[in-house]
């Protein structure tokens, strides 16, 4: 078994840390514990794929599908020498059934003691640390949901009437505000442009108006990344300017959002934070935007640091890709949110605060079986996109896994698409190779304004003018973006970055790793530089004779200039993966699919890529039929947050 795991590692099927865990346990356990050792390695491997646990029932039913092995980059040689997962399971377990495996695990010293490295919960196997994270989240959210607040529905209705006016049809934004008053935990979910920012400002105003004679509530706004935090700040600030009915509490509504790391306070050389259960945050309300990007470890840290009396409000799109790190917090909490599943009691309470009753199909007599949904509101209608055409229609069809309209678009979206209103801002370019002349032309046109701005360096040596110039360039990076589904290969992120760098800068890019105009993305948190995974900067010269520096925008709107030598973990960002694009939006988004089908192509991946586009979306691929295959495939991350 260890020999096979060694081969898997040598050929890139598993990580060094997965193999190391297996080797350490093998030294500590008896020979009859080979199954436990193997399953421990697979738990670690699944963690690297974003699953906080290993679903044993799925593993025994479909090993290759559950593990995604062999990987998409597997060579012919590796396929010849590496056994498939089902073969390794059969060899190690000697035909052992799922029930036998569960019994062996329950008796193993790797599982049974309280300080053991593994935890078996129902039919899921966890590394202990991640099991503890999940339990912390479940326990905390259960307590906040159980803490029902004393709110007079008639008084609440008066406040909501002031903020929303009289309603002739159901207002889910108003429903979300009412829902948030009932307990200390609330989720607001919906796609781009469905009104989450519009709602959160009114939600905060409602909280402040209902506080009575007490001091204004202390409110903190946060997001997983610096870019998401900056956009949250800008959106809330703009929305406040349009809302005249809250002048009495406007000063009590914050507009500055920070990253979750800054909210909690990072500690050097530590996974912990300054704010924790022993030193909680000084706040009454915490609102987290882009919550789909929050992983299980970070969410556990947030609930630990949150005072027991404070409200936690999550905003996000449950249909997006889950966090890059382990966990699918929002997806698990919001499962089935589109159907409501509200208890009759909750429906009656919400109706008492509204002009229009909730649709009858959102009420469920068995709604108590969906505890998180009793604190969740889902928005369905996008104010940004027309649901009957273009980006809005495409995103909706992919999300609902519908094929008919997609097939028409893939068939008709080239030459005559420009004349069809339903395809007004979406295009599909089928090209045989990624370096096709038409692709180069599209890229050069897309990045032409960026190059023009870079050449327009201010003549003055004023630091303020130079910072404004850098800020404009960073803003321009949001106008055009290549998103790839995969990292490697001809259609992958790395080769697209090399290709684009050469198209735009020629030999300068080929000969020098650092060159003026190179956008870079931070790939790992760097607490010493206060940079986070996903932060975007661009290489510039503040003056012609000065050395190169990398400009980053801060959440406060300032510019930081860092020497390239201080940045050890960055990628060029002319192209980025769809996963890395979460929390960002681009005026024109070009999504690139690989030539052949791979397991990573799912409806969630397509939906996330499509909804990064604000005004124009282009699909670039060699085989348009891959879209239809991807739409049929869904991501199912393992986890037990929704268990009773």
Q: What is the per-residue pLDDT across 209-229, written as a single tens digit (0 to 9) for each? A: 888 767 899 999 999 887 788
Binding residues: 190-197
pLDDT average, residue stretch 147-157: 89
Residue-wise pLDDT for 600-640, tens only, equals 889 999 999 999 999 999 999 999 889 999 999 887 778 88
Amino acid 204: pLDDT: 92
pLDDT in tens, 233-262: 888 988 888 887 787 888 889 989 988 988
CA distance 455 to 469: 10
Mean pLDDT of the chain: 89
Asked whether residue 558 carries a pLDDT value surpassing 90, the answer given is: no
Rounded distance between C-alpha atoms, residue 378 and residue 372, angstroms? 12
Chain centroid offset of residue 296 CA: 12
Q: What domains lie within the chain, and their CATH numbers? A: 1-126 (1.10.10.1020), 147-379 (3.40.50.300), 390-632 (3.40.50.300)
Beta partners for residue 575, in sequence order: 482
Q: What is the pLDDT of residue 510?
A: 67
235-239, 299-303, 407-411: least confidently modelled range: 407-411
314: DSSP letter: E
* pLDDT tens for each residue of 173-209: 999 999 999 999 999 999 888 888 889 999 999 999 8
The pLDDT, as a whole number, for residue 415 is: 45
Binding site residues for ATP, as ranges? 190-197
Q: Using pLDDT thresholds of 50, 70 and 90, give the confidence band for residue 327.
A: confident
Beta strands across the sheet bearing 124-127: 53-55, 124-127, 118-121
Q: What is the pLDDT of residue 214?
A: 79
The pLDDT assigned to 416 comes to: 47
Q: Classify each residue of 72-90 as buried b or exposed e, where b means 16 or more C-beta atoms within 10 Å of its C-beta.
A: eeeeeebeeebeebeebbe
User: How is 439-463 classified by DSSP, letter by letter?
Assistant: HHHHHHHHHHHHHHHHHT--SS--H
Model confidence at 275: pLDDT above 90: yes
Q: What pLDDT score does 413 carry?
A: 64
pLDDT per position as a tens digit, 114-126: 889 999 998 999 9
Compare 524 and 298 and report the one with higher pLDDT.
298
Tens of pLDDT, residue by residue over 368-379, are 999 999 999 999
Q: What is the pLDDT of residues 506-551, one digit of tens each?
A: 888 766 789 999 999 998 778 788 887 788 999 999 888 889 999 9
């Amino acid at each position: 078994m260890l020999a096979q795991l060694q081969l898997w590692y040598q050929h890139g099927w598993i990580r060094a840390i997965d193999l190391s865990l297996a080797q350490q346990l093998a030294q500590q356990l008896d020979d009859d514990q080979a199954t436990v050792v193997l399953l421990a390695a697979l738990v670690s491997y699944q963690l690297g794929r974003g699953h906080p646990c290993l679903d044993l029932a799925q593993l025994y039913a479909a090993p290759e599908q559950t593990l995604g092995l062999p990987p998409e980059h597997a060579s012919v040689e590796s396929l010849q020498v590496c056994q498939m997962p089902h073969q390794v399971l059969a060899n190690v377990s000697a035909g052992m059934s799922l029930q036998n495996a569960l019994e062996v695990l329950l008796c193993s010293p790797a599982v049974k003691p309280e300080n053991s490295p593994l935890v078996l919960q129902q039919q899921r196997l966890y590394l202990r640390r991640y099991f503890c994270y999940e339990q912390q989240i479940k326990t905390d959210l259960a307590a906040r949901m159980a803490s029902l607040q004393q709110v007079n529905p008639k008084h609440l209705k008066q406040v909501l009437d002031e903020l929303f006016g009289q309603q002739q049809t159901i207002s889910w934004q108003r429903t979300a505000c009412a829902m948030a008053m009932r307990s200390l935990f609330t989720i607001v979910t919906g796609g781009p442009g469905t009104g989450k920012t519009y709602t959160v400002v009114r939600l905060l105003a409602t909280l402040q108006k209902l506080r009575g004679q007490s001091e204004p509530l202390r409110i903190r706004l946060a997001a997983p990344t610096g870019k998401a935090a900056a956009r949250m700040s800008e959106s809330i600030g703009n929305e406040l300017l349009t809302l005249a009915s809250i002048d009495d509490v406007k000063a009590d509504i914050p507009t500055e959002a920070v990253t979750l790391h800054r909210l909690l306070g990072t500690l050097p050389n530590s996974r912990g934070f300054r704010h924790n259960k022993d030193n909680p945050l000084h706040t009454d309300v915490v609102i987290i935007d882009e919550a789909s990007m929050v992983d299980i470890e970070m969410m556990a840290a947030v609930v630990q640091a949150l005072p027991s009396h404070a409200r936690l409000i999550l905003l996000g799109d449950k249909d997006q890709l889950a966090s890059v790190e382990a966990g699918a917090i929002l997806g698990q909490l919001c499962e089935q949110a589109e159907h409501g599943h509200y208890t009759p009691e909750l429906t009656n309470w919400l109706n008492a605060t509204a002009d229009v009753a909730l649709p009858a199909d959102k009420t469920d007599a068995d709604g108590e079986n969906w505890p998180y949904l009793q604190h969740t509101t889902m928005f369905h209608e996008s104010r940004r996109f027309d649901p009957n055409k273009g980006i809005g229609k495409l995103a909706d069809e992919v999300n609902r896994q519908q094929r008919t309209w997609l097939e028409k678009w893939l068939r008709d979206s080239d030459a005559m698409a420009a004349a069809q209103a339903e395809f007004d801002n979406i295009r599909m370019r089928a090209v045989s190779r990624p370096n096709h002349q038409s692709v180069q032309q599209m890229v050069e046109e897309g990045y032409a304004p960026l190059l023009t701005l870079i050449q327009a360096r201010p003549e003055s040596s004023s630091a303020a003018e130079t910072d404004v110039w850098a800020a404009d360039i960073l803003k321009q990076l949001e106008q055009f973006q290549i998103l790839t589904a995969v990292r490697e290969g001809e259609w992958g992120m790395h080769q697209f970055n090399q290709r684009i760098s050469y198209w735009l800068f020629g030999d300068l890019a080929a000969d020098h790793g650092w060159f003026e105009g190179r956008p870079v993305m931070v790939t790992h948190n760097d607490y010493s530089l206060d940079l986070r995974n996903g932060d975007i900067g661009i290489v510039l010269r503040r003056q012609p004779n000065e050395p190169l520096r990398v400009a980053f925008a801060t959440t406060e709107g300032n510019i930081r200039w860092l020497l390239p030598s201080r940045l050890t973990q960055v990628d060029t960002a002319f192209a980025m993966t769809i996963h890395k694009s979460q929390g960002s939006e681009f005026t024109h988004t070009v999504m690139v699919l690989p030539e052949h089908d791979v397991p990573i192509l799912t409806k969630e991946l397509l939906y996330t890529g499509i909804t990064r586009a604000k005004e124009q979306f282009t699909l670039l691929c060699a085989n348009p039929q891959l879209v239809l295959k991807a739409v049929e495939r869904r991501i199912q991350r393992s986890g037990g947050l929704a268990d009773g």
